[in-house]
Amino acid sequence: MLLRIDGLLPAAEVARIREVLTTAKFVDGKLTAGEAVRDIKNNLQVTEREEKLDSCRQSIMAALLGQEAFKLHVLPKRLLPPMFNRYDPGMEYGSHVDNAIMGGADPVRADVSLTVFLSEPEEYEGGGLVIHSDRRGKPLKPSAGSAIIYNSSTIHRVEPVTRGSRYAAVSWVQSFVRDEVKREVLAELSDVARWARGVAPGSAEAMRIAKMRANLMRMWAEL
């Protein structure tokens, strides 16, 4: 899965979050890095004690949970409050896979990872997010307020920043369905069900597709 949501946050909300970040304390990202990635993680992040960012975290979470595409593709059971990070010139995050368990004192199983971009592409050079499962391997640098969502099992990296600063929020989701192939099947069935309701609303065929998806969800979901 590689899901892109453009315009997740309006420009005014991005500006508000960026304003709050100007007064936040950033620390070395290695402080929260696991042993396997400590040598390749080179960025800055806001400490969890920065309570003034709570409203920013809540705003991002509400925006994600309000997106139909996010709910259908991710099937979120638990969403961690986002962490904010910054990459200055010379900083990068080498190829890695996110930890299976994220969240510290209140952990979740990381099924899905996401990055919400808080800098416009022209504000920095380099710093593209590369998802290795994307066969094109093209660095992703969407506009500020946009989100890139992908399976946590995939190898990914942040390319070196050579100019400016790259601000972003990152988070992880525990899905009701842990298997990524099954999540993809359910998402595709949702698309087909929507098409059937539009083409033949109330038909037996539309009902059968809806029934199929509901029963597969019943079989695969973990409560």
Q: Helix 180-199 and helix 204-220: axis angle, to 10°? A: 160
What pLDDT is attached to residue 54? 95
- State whether 127 and 208 are in the same domain: no
Summarised one tens digit per residue, pLDDT across range 197-209 is 999 999 999 999 9
CB 27 within 8 A of CB 47: yes
Residues 116, 186 share a domain: no
Judge if 156 and 212 occupy the same domain: no
The structural domain count of the chain equals 2
| Whether residue 192 sits in one domain with residue 170 | no
Structure tokens at 205: 């065929």
pLDDT at residue number 136: 60
Tokens matching residue 75: 């099937």
State residue 2's pLDDT score: 93
Give the C-alpha separation, 126 to 88, whole Å.
Answer: 10
Return the structure tokens found at 36: 């396997």
For residues 201 and 150, state if they share a domain.
no
Does 138 share its domain with 201?
Answer: no
Do 133 and 54 share a structural domain?
yes
Q: What is the pLDDT of residue 137?
A: 72
Q: Could you tell me how far CA 32 lies from the centroid of its own chain?
A: 18
Q: Are 96 and 157 in contact (CB under 8 A)?
A: yes
Alpha-carbon separation of residue 108 from 162, 198, 211 (angstroms): 34, 37, 30
Distance CA 1, CA 151 (A): 6
Using the 3D structure, point to which of 157, 175, 193 is the last residue of a domain: 175
Do 93 and 139 share a structural domain? yes
Q: Are 29 and 44 in contact (CB under 8 A)?
A: yes
* CATH classification of the domain holding 44: 2.60.120.620
Same domain flag for 116 and 205: no
What is the tens place of the pLDDT at every residue in 23-67?
A: 999 999 988 777 778 899 999 999 777 788 999 999 999 999 999
- In this structure, the answer to whether residues 200 and 137 fall within a common structural domain is no
Examine the domain organization and report whether 46 and 109 are in the same domain.
yes
189 and 166 within one domain: no
- Which structural domain range is residue 184 located in? 180-220
Q: What is the DSSP string of 118-141?
A: -S-GGGEEE--EEETTSTT-PPB-
Q: Which residues of the chain have pLDDT under 70?
A: 133-136
